[in-house]
Structures are given as structure tokens and as C-alpha cells.
């Protein structure tokens, strides 16, 4: 057996030992409580309202009303986009006022 073969086997053995090592303690720690976000996320509220309005549209169509789907989609996209932009801005203003 040449020295190159024994070196190859030793490196394979060392790699196997590293794979079976005990996990590091840092992987099992829970995050600090102060870093968790509290409250409702703006995106969740906006998407919830969009889904609720689409559901309302389905109910209205089932009740016999006529809805312009293209116009309704445009209005929903504009309202959703405005909500996703203005929501975090308003939260930032509110947070800066409460921190002072």
C-alpha cells in the first residue's frame, strides 16, 4: 500500500468523525424575547382584506349583481399596493412618537 492510499483513507475517516460530532449549543438556543415582533404585520392585514373583498364579490355575483372584473382587479391592486406602502410608514411614525 502506498502512502497516498493511507492518506486518502485517513482523510475519509476524519471526515466521518466530523459528521458525527455532537451539535453545537448555539443551534439549540431560543431567540431572545425582546427581539420578537409584536402585533399584526401589515402584509397580513392587506392580504386578508383582499381575500375578504374577493369573497364579498363572489357572494354579490351569486346574489345576481354584475361586477366589472377588470375594474375590480385594478381597484384591488391599487388598494393593496397603497396599503403595503402606507402601512409600514404609519407604523414607523407611530413607533417614533411612542419612543420619545
The pLDDT tens digits for 16-26 are 555 555 555 55
What's this model's pTM, rounded to 2 decimal places?
0.56
Beta-carbon neighbour count of residue 49 at 10 Å?
14
Residue 84, burial from CB neighbour count under 10 angstroms (0-12, 13-18, 19+)? middle
User: Going by C-beta distance under 8 Å and a sequence separation of 6 or more, which residues neighbour residue 74?
Assistant: none
Q: Does the pLDDT value for residue 91 go beyond 60?
A: yes
Q: Does the pLDDT value for residue 98 go beyond 60?
A: yes
Please give the C-alpha separations between residue 85 and each of 68, 90, 100, in angstroms, as whole numbers: 26, 9, 24
Amino acid at each position: 500500500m502506498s502512502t497516498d492510499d493511507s492518506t486518502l483513507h485517513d482523510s475519509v475517516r476524519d471526515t466521518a468523525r466530523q459528521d458525527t460530532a455532537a451539535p453545537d449549543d448555539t443551534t439549540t438556543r431560543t431567540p431572545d424575547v425582546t427581539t420578537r415582533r409584536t402585533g399584526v404585520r401589515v402584509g397580513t392585514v392587506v392580504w386578508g382584506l383582499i381575500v375578504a373583498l374577493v369573497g364579498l364579490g363572489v357572494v354579490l355575483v351569486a346574489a345576481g349583481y354584475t361586477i366589472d372584473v377588470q375594474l375590480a382587479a385594478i381597484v384591488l391592486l391599487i388598494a393593496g399596493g397603497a396599503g403595503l406602502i402606507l402601512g409600514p410608514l404609519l407604523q414607523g411614525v407611530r413607533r417614533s412618537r411612542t419612543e420619545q
